[in-house]
Amino acid sequence: MKLWQYVVRRLIMLIPVVIGVTLITFTISHVIPANPARAWAGQKAPEEVVKRIAEKYHLNDPLYVQYYYYLAGLVKGDWGYSHSEHRPVIACLADYFPATFELTLWAMMIAIPLGIYLGVVSAVKRNKVPDHLSRVFALSGVSMPIFWLGLLLILVFYTYLGIFPASGRGIAPSHTYTGLYILDSILSLDFHALVDDVWHIILPSITLSYATLAVITRMTRSSMLEVLRLDYIKTAKAKGLPDRVVIYRHALRNAMIPTLTVSGLAFAGLLGGAVLTETIFSWPGMGRYAYHAISTLDFPAIMGVTFLMAVIFVIANLIVDILYAYLDPRIKLGE
């Protein structure tokens, strides 16, 4: 099977998954015993207004009719009206998603290479000082609460040292192409914005990356230890290859599969779940938006965020599966 055939097939399989997701989110947001029309209109709004809102959004219709309207809207690009923001959900997502995506991208760019490197060093220098250091580092990463780390970084680097800013995304670049500030500022040659944006993303991306970094380090270490005992490593050494080739070319590629799985899941997870980091650093992303939507019973927004998340997870898994086949020729796609 060719790669593109596999991708197309997987994308088609995405449809039932997505329908399932809409079904679940729709049901969950409608079993909550609260009157959304009242919530959107406000506590003091006259009964008449509440009624009209309920009518306009089909809140009085049977659930399956409401679901039909929801699905139809989803396909047409009308994801509903976000009442907490007073604008369409899709417009909110278009604003917030790039912010989260950019933050996640940076966090993963820190976590993946550094995590793999630390894991490899740890495995190669097993039970020696570098291993102990990296294990302590990783253990503190998985056990340290993310908000605590965020606050600590702010305290040190913003309050005491005043090196990095502590909130927001920085200056918006002069042109918007992708919604990713740093990429856009490079594309529009706006170096003033570039410096400011890079400065702003450093602390939140470190905060966000630490837990993932720790997991990747531990995963890489254990799978490297596994691989380094195997016969083909002995063969590689018997060939007279330098250690660095034995470790990075012969061992690491075989040890990458578990690391890849973790990285893929973490990437998808961070895209939707950076609530704490985004809140601490006032980062205008999806996590903050979702949190806000939940607390104001903004159903269309909740459904929109959940839907997008589900799609991201499925796509992340697809990418991981394709990378598996690239890394290990024994894995055949679609069989």
Partner 1 sequence: MNDILLKVEDLHTYFYTYEGVVKAVDGVSFDIKKGEIFGLVGETGCGKSVTALSIIGLIDEPGKIVGGKIIFKGKNLLEMSEEEKRKIRGKEISMIFQEPMTALNPVYTIGDQIIELLLLHEEGIANIKKAPKELKKEKRKKAIEMLRLVRMPDPERTIDSYPHELSGGMRQRAMIAMMLATNPSLLIADEPTTALDVTVQAQILKILTDMRDKLGVSILLITHDLSVIAEVTDRVGVMYAGNIVEIADTFTIFQNPKHPYTVGLMEAIPKITEKKEELRQIRGSVPNLIYPPPGCRFHPRCDYAKPICKKEKPKLIEIEPGHFVACHLYGGEANE
Q: Return residues touching partner 1 (CB under 8 A).
A: 230-232, 234-242, 245, 249-250, 253-254, 327-330
Distance of CA 208 to the CA centre of its chain: 10
Question: Of 86 and 244, which CB lies nearer to partner 1 in the complex structure?
Answer: 244
87: β partners: 82
Question: Of 48 and 335, which CB lies nearer to partner 1 in the complex structure?
Answer: 335
CB of 125 to partner 1, least distance (A): 11
CB of 329 to partner 1, least distance (A): 5
Question: Of 258 and 269, which CB lies nearer to partner 1 in the complex structure?
Answer: 258
From residue 126, how far is each of 44, 234, 276, 323 by CA, in Å?
66, 17, 34, 28
* Full DSSP string of 42-63: -TTS-HHHHHHHHHHTTTTS-H
CB of 139 to partner 1, least distance (A): 25
Question: Of 56 and 234, which CB lies nearer to partner 1 in the complex structure?
Answer: 234
How many C-beta atoms surround the C-beta of residue 23 within 10 A? 12
The DSSP output letter for 179 is S
Question: Of 257 and 315, which CB lies nearer to partner 1 in the complex structure?
Answer: 257
Q: How far apart are the first and last CA of the chain?
A: 9
CB of 243 to partner 1, least distance (A): 9
How many C-beta atoms surround the C-beta of residue 148 within 10 A? 12
Q: Residue 224 class from Cβ within 10 Å (0-12 exposed, 13-18 middle, 19+ buried)?
A: buried
CB of 335 to partner 1, least distance (A): 14
